[in-house]
Amino acid sequence: MREYIPKKRGLLSFDWYVPINLGILILVMLIFLIDLRLDMDY
């Protein structure tokens, strides 16, 4: 049990780490596209 818990925590932290990075990348891309659209409008 003691050896299983750290592995499970590592997997959970890895599972949280990837979606957060993907979410940040998507937000940056959306902000970049919105800025381009605003620049083209004006």
Q: Average pLDDT for residues 10-33, to the nearest whole number?
A: 83
Reported as a pLDDT band with limits 50, 70 and 90, residue 21 is confident
The answer to whether residue 12 scores a pLDDT higher than 60 is yes
Which residue has better confidence, 19 or 1? 19
- Measured distance CA(28)–CA(23) in Å, rounded: 9
Give this prediction's pTM.
0.51
The answer to whether residue 33 scores a pLDDT higher than 60 is yes
Locate the domains of the chain by residue range: 14-41
Reported as a pLDDT band with limits 50, 70 and 90, residue 3 is low
Cα 19 to the center of its chain, rounded Å: 4
**What sign does the dihedral 22-26-28-29 (CA atoms) show?**
positive
Cα 35 to the center of its chain, rounded Å: 20
